Amino acid sequence: MRRPIIAANWKLNMLRQEAHDFVVAFLSELNNPTQDASLDIVIAPPFTALDATRQALTASNVALAGQNLSFESSGAFTGEISAEMLRDAGCRYCIVGHSERRSLFAETNTDVARKVRALLEADLQPIVCVGETLDERESGRDQAVLAAQLDGSLEGLEPEDTRNLILAYEPVWAIGTGRTATPEQAQATHAFIRNHLRAGPLGDQAKTLRIQYGGSVKPDNIRTLMAQPDIDGALVGGASLRPDSFARIVRFDQPENTPS
């Protein structure tokens, strides 16, 4: 049984006071966030709001994540943040290889693999993102692209690392566009990813790997996505910026008039 994991990726948003106010409102929306221990809830603020978010989350079971890190551990790397620094700031997870970092900041699969290794060595859990562009999907290259991203980004991984690893399938064409993959499309791709890793580095441990879906996840589509057998959670951008909407997502809420 894979435990669901729902994560907020705040991207380049939220000043410290805004992060604090979000958490206060979010925890009150959930009533008692410790009551449902069957779900992992994660928030990934920008670095500058990590501490304010951590303080506001004290006494809840909501975990903290970084959005990026350096694969270097220390030294003359101006502007970088190490895995140990993230752990020191209270993080348990870190997003790696998000498509925005791959496309806007030229992050390669080799960089991602080094970051994954740095996180695992620091006892942090990487949330490794993969996803194809619309052009890659429409030209039938989506599986080849995903396979190359998986092989490159997870190079050197051992089956026992699966326990601390989370994968996120985020089709680039669904990120911030309002165009979600259908539950069937997402399920088919999640099953492909799991089978690919099962045949490769993870072996049977791939059955226990948690795979999140990301890309225009909203309160009104979370339930049908989560009903798919290989979808184990969600990585949420825009809809995680409001406490009421993120609370509805972690409760898998739907509007009252939407048939389930």
- The catalytic residue positions are 98, 170
67-106 residues near ligand 13P, rule: CB under 6 A: 98
- CB nearer to ligand 13P: give 99 or 187: 99
95 or 205: whose CB is closer to ligand 13P? 95
Angle at 48 between CA 81 and CA 126, to 5 degrees: 50
Q: Give the torsion sign (CA, 31, 32, 33, 38).
A: negative
Asked if residues 237 and 192 have their Cβ atoms less than 8 Å apart, the reply is no
In angstroms, give the least distance from the CB of 34 to ligand 13P: 25
Q: Which of residues 147-206 bind ligand 13P (CB under 6 A)?
A: 170, 175-176
Residues between 200 and 259 with contacts to ligand 13P, criterion CB under 6 A: 214-217, 235-239
Q: What is the CA radius of gyration of the chain?
A: 17
**Which residue's Cβ lies closest to ligand 13P?**
237
CA gap 173, 182 in Å, rounded: 12
User: Long-range contacts: 78-81, Cβ < 8 Å, 24+?
Assistant: 81/47
| Closest approach of ligand 13P to the CB of residue 214, in Å | 4
Q: What is the DSSP string of 8-24?
A: EE--S---HHHHHHHHH
Number of shown-chain residues binding ligand 13P (CB under 6 A): 14
Q: Under the rule (CB under 6 A), what is the footprint of ligand 13P?
A: 9, 98, 170, 175-176, 214-217, 235-239
